[in-house]
Structure 1
Amino acid sequence: MSRPLRFGLAAVPLFGVLLALLAWVEMHGFVSGAVVEMWAKAIVQVEGPQAFRATDPFYPPLPYVLSLTLQALVPGTGVPAPSLLSAAIGAVLLHAWFGNLRERGAYDRVSAVLIVVLMAMNPFFLRALAEGPGTMLLLLGFWIYARGLLNLRLNGTAPDMMKVAVGLLILPVAHGYGLLLALGTLPFIVIAARPSMLAASSLGYIVSMFFPVLAAVGSLVFVATVLDTGIFPTDPAAAVAPAGAAAILPTLCAMIPVGAALIRTARMPRFVLPLLAGGCSLIGGAVLNMGYGLEPDPAVIAAPALGLVVVAIRAWPPSGLRAPMIAALLLVSAPMALWSIRAAGGEESQRLLQAAAGAQVADQRAADRAAAEFLEGRDGVLVDVERNPGLVTALGGTGGLLLAGQSAYDITMLGGRPRGAWVALRHDPDAIVQRDRLLRAFPQLAKGTAPPFTLRFTRGPWRIFEITEQD
C-alpha cells in the first residue's frame, strides 16, 4: 500500500470525527468568535462586491489566506470554512503524531494509537480545534519547533535547524499570540543547542534560527505599509489579558507529562535540555502576553503545549512500562487540564466545556440570525460588516448589503445624507465607545428613531432602521 493511500485511509476518518465533534458543540450553541470573524472575512472577500475596501488588519495572514482559498473552492456549504480547515489540520496533526511516535519513538502500533487518542481527548486539543485554524496552526508550529530542538540536540544537522526555523516561522503568521510565543523562545533556544554549535558561532546560531521570524515580521510590516493598514487589531485585548497565576496555570497543567519526562531524563542532557527549552519557551510566551495581551484566553495560550507533550513522549526512554506510564500520565493530565480551564479559562472556554458535555449554552448568534431573517430579500442595507461578522455568516453572503468602498456607504460615512434603503447597526449600551462605525456616524440612533430614519426592527443589540427620506 502506497504512503499517500495509507495517509488518506487514516486522515479522512480522523477529519470526519473531528468535524463531527465541532458539529456536536455547535448543535449545543457554541461557535468560536474567531471562527465567525474569519468566516465572515472570507465570505466578504470572495463573494462580496469588488468595490469592498477592508479597513481592518489582515493579520494573521496564514489562516486568512487558507480560509479565503477554501471559501472560493467550496462556497455556500453552510459549514464554516475555518471549521473545515481546523478539522483538516487536526487530522493531519494527529496522523503526523502517530507516524512520529512509530518511526522515531519506537512505539508499537497499539501504544501509538492509544497515545494519539488520549492526546485528541485532551481538553486543550478540543479548545484549539474549536478556536479555528489559527490556533491549530499555532499548535502545529510549536510541535515542529520542539521536535526540531530535540533533533538538533541529537543529530545537529541542517535539516534539524530548518525544522526549528520553520516552526518559528509558522508561529507569528498563524496567530497573534504566535509572535509573542516566538519571542518567548529567544532566551531559551540556546539551552537546546549542541555545545559544538555555540562554540563555532553563538551569534550565527541565533541568527539562523530567528531569521525566518524576522523576515516574516518584516514582510508583514512592508505589506501593511503598502496597504496603509495595521498589522494587529486596533483594540487589543490588553485590558482583559490574564495576569498572575491565572495566566500560566493552564499552561503548567498542560505540561504535566513534560514535567514527568524531565524527571525521567534528568541524567540525559540530550533529552532534558530540549524539553526544558521548550517548556521555558511556553512560559516565556505566556508571561509576555500578560503585558501585551494579544490573547485574552489562557486556555488558548496553553494549547501549543500539546506539541511539546508529544515530543516528551517520543523522548521517553524505552522500557517495558513506558506505554502504560505515559497512558496513565495522559489520563491524569486530562482532568487537570479540565480543572485549569474551569479555574482560569476565558468565557468562551467555559461555554465550550458546557457544550462538549451536552449542555445547551446561550446562543450568541441568535440575535444575528433574527436580524438576518428580517433583512432577507431586502436591498440597499448599510452595515458595518467588519464590526458585525455574525450578520454576514447568518445571511450566508453579502447580497443586498452596501459595504465600505461602495459610494452609498462612503458618502453616508462622510456625513452626507444617508444613501440606501436600510441601515443595520449594533448598539452596546455598556460600551464606552461603540464599535459599530455607522452608529458612531449617527449617534442619535442609539436613543431611537431620528429623521430620516424610522425604526423597523430591534432585538438584542440589533437595531434596523428604514431610511424614509431620500434626495
Structure 2
Amino acid sequence: MSARSFTAALVGLLAGATVFALLLHWQAAGFQSLAGLHLLGNVLLARDGQLSLETQLTMFPPLSFMIVWAETVVFPALKAQAVLLSSAMLCAALGAIIFMLMRRAHYSIRGSIALTLLVMANPLVLRAAADGPGLVLLLFGMLALALGAFGLPRQQRVNDLILISLALILASFAHIAGLVVALASLPCLALIIPKRQLVAYPGAAFLVLLFPVLFTLASFLYVNWIFTGEALHFLPNAMLQQGFVEALTPEGLLLAIGGSLAMSPLCFALIFYALPGSSLREAALALIMMLCAAPLIAFALRLEIAPTSLAVMAVPVAISCTVFWPKEQLNPQAPYLLLTVAFAAGTVVCALDRSDETTRWRIALGGKAVPSSQPEMEQLASHLTGKSILVDAGAMPAIVGIRGSAAGVESAESRAFRMAQINRQINSDIVVVRNPDSGSGSDLIGRTFPSLFEEGARDYTLIFAGTKWRAYARRNGASS
C-alpha cells in the first residue's frame, strides 16, 4: 500500500469512526430516523424468514436493503446498530475517496485533509448519515455524476461516459430522491455531451448515456411484474415513504432550491470566472440546473422528501468543482474559502428545515433528550412480548425496528396468517390490527377480519388501544 493510499484509509477510518460515534450519541439521546427504523425492520423480518422472496426482490430502494441485510448476515449480533454502522462505513469510504480525489488534483496533504474535513463535517452530510445508508449512497452517485459531467466535455473519454451511466444507476437505486436526480439530469446532459457528437448523432449520444440506467430500470420493472403481476408494484411505498416526512411544501421547495444554490459558490465561480468557451462553465451550469430541477420535480410529484435530503446533493457537486478547479486561471486558495461558505450554507439549511425528522435531529445535536415522533408505535412495541405475535409487519416494519428483533413475529406472509385466513380463526398469543378509519386504512389482518379492530376476537382481551393500532392478547387458559 502506497503512502497516499494509507493516508486516505486513515482519513476515511477517522471520518467513519467519528460519524459512528455521533450516530450512537444521537441514538442514546432518542433520535433514530423513521426511515432507518423502517429499513431495519424489513431487514430483521427478511433475516427471520418473515418476508417472502418476491417482497425482498421488489424492495425499493434495493441497495440500502441489500447492504444492511448482508451486514446482519455477516455480523448476526448487529441489530439496532446495523443501520448506523452501514451509514458510518459508507461515510468512511466517502471520506477516503474525497481525500484521494484532492490529492490527485494536486492539493497538499494538509490541504486535502482540510477540504475533506469541510465536506464531511457539513451538517447536511451528517444529517444524511443520520437518515440512513440510502442518502449516503446517493452522495456516491451524485459525486460520480458530477465528476463525469466535468470530465466528459473536457477529456471526451469513454471512462467518463461509463461513470455517468453508472452514477445514474447508483443514484436511482439508492434513494427515492435519486430517481428525481435521474429525471432532473435528462435535459442537463445536453450541456455536457461533446457538441460535435450532439449535433451529428443526438439520439445516439443520449442513448449511450441513458441505456444502462434504462435497461436496469426496465429489468427491475420486469422483476416486479413477474413476481407481483404489477410492474409498478414498488412505487406506492417508495413514493409515500409511509409517512416518514411531510410532503415537500412550497416553503420546503424554496429552502431546497435556495440551499442548493447557497451550497454552490464553487459552481458560480466557475460559471462567471472560467475562461470563455471553457467546458468547465457548461458542466457547472448543467449541475446547477440539475440541483434546481430536482426539488421542482419532487414538489410536482408531491414526494415526501425533506428539504435537507435535496439540498445535500449540492455537496458532491462542490467536491467535483474543487477537484477540477483551474488553479492556473483562478486563485488556488479559493476552494478553501468557498467550501467554508458551503459549510455555513449547510448549517443554515439544517437550521431552517422545519420537517419533524430534522427538528428532532437538531435537538439530538444539541445533546438534549429527543421526544418520540411515534409515541403510539413505541407504546405498542412494548406490549409485543408474546411467543407468537400476528401482525401485518409489511405495513409497519418500523415497529420491528423499534423492538430490535423479529423474534415471535408472525407476519402477514407467514404460515400462521395463511392458516388464520383459511380457518377464519386466530391462534396467536397476540394479534395487532390497524384502524380502518386511519389515513392508511385497514391492514391485511383488518381486511381479513373486518370486525377485529372494534370488537376484538373470541378468547382475546384488549391490551393496547391507540388511535391507529389495537392489540389483543389471548386470555389465560384459552385453547389454541
| TM-score scaled by length of structure 2 | 0.88
Is 1:172 matched up with 2:181?
Answer: no
Aligned to 2:420: 412
Is the CA contact (8 Å cut-off) linking 2:318 and 2:339 kept in structure 1?
Answer: no
Deviation of the 1:339 alpha carbon = 2.6
Aligned to 2:235: 232
> What whole-Å deviation, never above 9, does each CA across 1:207-226 have from its counterpart, x for those lacking one?
10111110111011111011
> What whole-Å deviation, never above 9, does each CA across 1:150-174 have from its counterpart, x for those lacking one?
1112210111111111111211111
Aligned to 1:401: 409
Aligned to 1:437: 444
Alpha-carbon distance in 2 for matches of 1:453, 1:305: 54
Alpha-carbon distance in 1 for matches of 2:77, 2:395: 22
Aligned to 2:259: 250
Deviation of the 1:362 alpha carbon = 0.7
> What whole-Å deviation, never above 9, does each CA across 1:326-354 have from its counterpart, x for those lacking one?
33323333333333334345221222122
* Identity between Structure 1 and Structure 2 (%): 23
Aligned to 1:19: 20
Is 1:424 matched up with 2:432?
Answer: yes
Tell me the amino acid that sits aligned with residue 147 of structure 1: L
Aligned to 1:65: 66
User: How do 1:231-380 and structure 2 match up within 5 A?
Assistant: 231-234=234-237, 236-237=239-240, 240-243=247-250, 244-265=253-274, 267=276, 269-318=278-327, 322=331, 324-364=333-373, 368=377, 370-376=379-385, 378-380=386-388
> What whole-Å deviation, never above 9, does each CA across 1:266-301 have from its counterpart, x for those lacking one?
635221111111111122222111122344212101
After TM superposition, the structure 1 stretch with the greater mean CA deviation from structure 2, 11-20 or 146-155, is 11-20
> What whole-Å deviation, never above 9, does each CA across 1:334-389 have from its counterpart, x for those lacking one?
3333333343452212221221122222134665555444433x222111212222
Deviation of the 1:87 alpha carbon = 1.2
Q: 1:141 to 1:193 in 2, by over 3 A?
A: same
Aligned to 2:182: 182
Deviation of the 1:241 alpha carbon = 3.0
After TM superposition, the structure 1 stretch with the greater mean CA deviation from structure 2, 385-394 or 244-253, is 244-253
Q: 1:432 to 1:8 in 2, by over 3 A?
A: closer
User: How do 1:31-70 and structure 2 match up within 5 A?
Assistant: 31-49=32-50, 54=55, 57-70=58-71
Alpha-carbon distance in 2 for matches of 1:179, 1:459: 36
Alpha-carbon distance in 1 for matches of 2:213, 2:51: 33
Aligned to 2:221: 221
Alpha-carbon distance in 2 for matches of 1:293, 1:302: 17
Q: 2:463 aligns with which of 447, 453, 456?
A: 456
Unmatched 5+ stretches in structure 2: none
Is the CA contact (8 Å cut-off) linking 2:11 and 2:96 kept in structure 1?
Answer: yes
Is the CA contact (8 Å cut-off) linking 1:180 and 1:285 kept in structure 2?
Answer: yes
Aligned to 1:163: 163
Aligned to 1:124: 124
SS at match of 1:466: strand
SS at match of 2:426: coil
Q: 1:441 to 1:247 in 2, by over 3 A?
A: farther
> What whole-Å deviation, never above 9, does each CA across 1:194-238 have from its counterpart, x for those lacking one?
223324422211110111110111011111011116122348339
Alpha-carbon distance in 2 for matches of 1:277, 1:123: 25
After TM superposition, the structure 1 stretch with the greater mean CA deviation from structure 2, 1-10 or 136-145, is 1-10
> What whole-Å deviation, never above 9, does each CA across 1:426-462 have from its counterpart, x for those lacking one?
5598x33436433454454545756443112457865
Aligned to 1:197: 197
Aligned to 1:145: 145
SS at match of 2:294: helix
Alpha-carbon distance in 1 for matches of 2:139, 2:173: 13
Is the CA contact (8 Å cut-off) linking 2:11 and 2:95 kept in structure 1?
Answer: no
Aligned to 2:389: 381
Alpha-carbon distance in 1 for matches of 2:400, 2:422: 23
Alpha-carbon distance in 2 for matches of 1:51, 1:113: 46
After TM superposition, the structure 1 stretch with the greater mean CA deviation from structure 2, 122-131 or 240-249, is 240-249
> What whole-Å deviation, never above 9, does each CA across 1:99-134 have from its counterpart, x for those lacking one?
111212x21111111111111121211121111111
Alpha-carbon distance in 2 for matches of 1:281, 1:51: 38
Is 1:110 matched up with 2:110?
Answer: yes
SS at match of 1:236: helix
After TM superposition, the structure 1 stretch with the greater mean CA deviation from structure 2, 400-409 or 150-159, is 400-409
Q: 1:258 to 1:14 in 2, by over 3 A?
A: same
Q: 1:72 to 1:284 in 2, by over 3 A?
A: same
Q: 1:393 to 1:123 in 2, by over 3 A?
A: same
Is the CA contact (8 Å cut-off) linking 2:391 and 2:411 kept in structure 1?
Answer: yes
After TM superposition, the structure 1 stretch with the greater mean CA deviation from structure 2, 434-443 or 135-144, is 434-443
Alpha-carbon distance in 2 for matches of 1:10, 1:317: 25
Question: How many pairs were matched up?
Answer: 468
Tell me the amino acid that sits aligned with residue 235 of structure 2: F
Tell me the amino acid that sits aligned with residue 224 of structure 1: N
Is the CA contact (8 Å cut-off) linking 2:257 and 2:295 kept in structure 1?
Answer: yes
| TM-score scaled by length of structure 1 | 0.89
Deviation of the 1:138 alpha carbon = 0.9
Is the CA contact (8 Å cut-off) linking 2:40 and 2:398 kept in structure 1?
Answer: no
